[in-house]
Amino acid sequence: MAADRVVAGATAMMMAVAFAAVLVAAAVLDVTARRRPESRLPTLGRCLAVVLRHPAGRVAVVLAWCWMGWHFLAR
């Protein structure tokens, strides 16, 4: 039983590290897009604006938000 808790704790830690890595990568890309006007990288706000133009994109964003909240905040 104790071994199961160790594995679960390690898995949770790996997921937290992966989530943090994705957030850092997104922040780096956004800062890069904002600092260099000649860059072809869109900002995160522009990417989200493109996705939210369509009703299916809105549903996808709400579902992703709910999934993240359920998995990271509800435990």
pLDDT value at residue 3: 52
How is 28-58 classified by DSSP, letter by letter? HHHHHHHH-TT--PPPHHHHHHHHTTSHHHH
Q: What is the pLDDT of residue 74?
A: 73
CA distance readout (Å), 31 to 20, 28, 63: 16, 5, 26
How far apart are alpha carbons 14 and 36 in whole angstroms? Answer: 33
- Per-residue model confidence as pLDDT tens digits over 11-61: 778 888 988 999 999 999 999 999 987 888 899 999 999 999 999 999 999
- Helix then strand then coil, in percent of the chain rounded to 5, is 80, 0, 20
pLDDT value for 40 = 87
